[in-house]
Each structure stands twice: as C-alpha cells, then as structure tokens.
Amino acid sequence: MSGGERQKVALARALSIKPQVLLLDEPLSALDPETREGVQRELRQVHDRLKITTIHVTHDFEEAIALADHIAVLGEGCVKQVGTPEQIFRQPNSEFVARFAMARNIFTGEVADRDDGSAIFRTEGIELAVASELRGKWHASVRPEDILISHQPLHSSARNSFCGIINHVMD
C-alpha cells in the first residue's frame, strides 16, 4: 500500500469506533506533495460530513489553515494563541506565532502617539502609521502580499509609503 492508502486505512479504522474526538498526529507529514494534497482534501470532507471534533497536529501552517476552523499554536509547551485561521494569519499575537503563520518581514520597534492622536510604529529609521491601541516596544510584520513596489511615487490612499533600495528578493 502507498503512504496515502495507509493513511486512509488508519483513518477508517479510527472512525469505525465512532469516536467523539479524533486525534491525528501529523497524518500528512510522510506523504509526497501530490498525495498529501489529496489526503488533505479527503480529511476536510470527512470532517465536514461527520462533524467530528478533530485535533490535527501539524508543523505546517498551510496544512493547518486548509483543514482547521480554529487553530491553537503551541510553542515551548504552552498555548501561544488560539483563533481562526484568519486571526492567526492576520493578527498573530507574538513573533513566534507570526513566524509560524509564515510572516517574513518582521520588525522590532516602538509604537507611539502622534500629535494628531493616531499611532506610529518606529523601526530602523522607518515610521509606519498603524491602527493600534498598543504602545511601547512591539514586533510588527508587513505581509508580502500587502507590499506594492513602484518606480514612481504612488498616488493612492495608502497610509505608508517610502523610498528605498531593494537589495534582495526571496521567494
């Protein structure tokens, strides 16, 4: 049997006793990408059809957001954050959670008040307008999909715009 077939048999065996909770410990980690995608799709269908509470252990954020309605991020033996996939992705509560959620542009700086009552995040010579009640030292992340690059100054409603030099691009 292939790895995917073995996983399906193990899932069927676990479901045969009609459990109230299903614990899956990294069920996709040993599968090749193509098989993983298919088994992941089937796991989601089983969950949706049976409405069974499933605890799915994974170190892969993409797998977590594809399968979960709620995510608990664990680190150093503690729950770091619990939320929907969107909350974990868009509003991580720590650098650890941000890195798990695949944030790569993480800055350390300070949030302070502006004269007009709004907030500013200062880091490494850059000031970013932020919508935050928080003040003091924090980490901030700018997701790659939220960055626009232009040779010309942008005429937009964007609150943050600055000139810079791109030294390196990572995929």
Domain harbouring 1, CATH code: 3.40.50.300
Structural domain includes residue 99 = no
Task: Say if 92 falls within a structural domain.
Answer: no
- Do 111 and 164 lie in a common domain? yes
Residue 166: domain span: 104-171
3-state secondary structure at position 62: helix
Is residue 171 in some structural domain? yes
In a domain, 137, yes or no: yes
pTM attached to this predicted model? 0.74
Of the three residues 42, 69, 96, the one that is the final residue of a domain is: 69
Q: Is 125 left (phi over 0), alpha (psi -120 to 50) or beta?
A: left
Indicate whether 62 and 123 sit together in one domain: no
Q: Number of folded domains in the chain? A: 2
Q: What is the pLDDT along the chain (171 residues), one digit of tens a residue?
A: 787 788 888 888 888 999 999 999 998 888 888 888 888 998 889 888 988 899 999 999 999 999 999 999 999 999 999 999 999 998 999 999 999 998 888 889 999 988 787 888 999 888 888 888 889 998 888 888 888 888 887 777 777 887 788 888 877
Contact residues for 56 (Cβ-Cβ < 8 A; gap 6+)? 24, 27, 43, 63, 64, 67, 68
Q: Tell me the pLDDT tens digit for each residue of 121-150.
A: 999 888 888 888 889 998 888 888 888 888
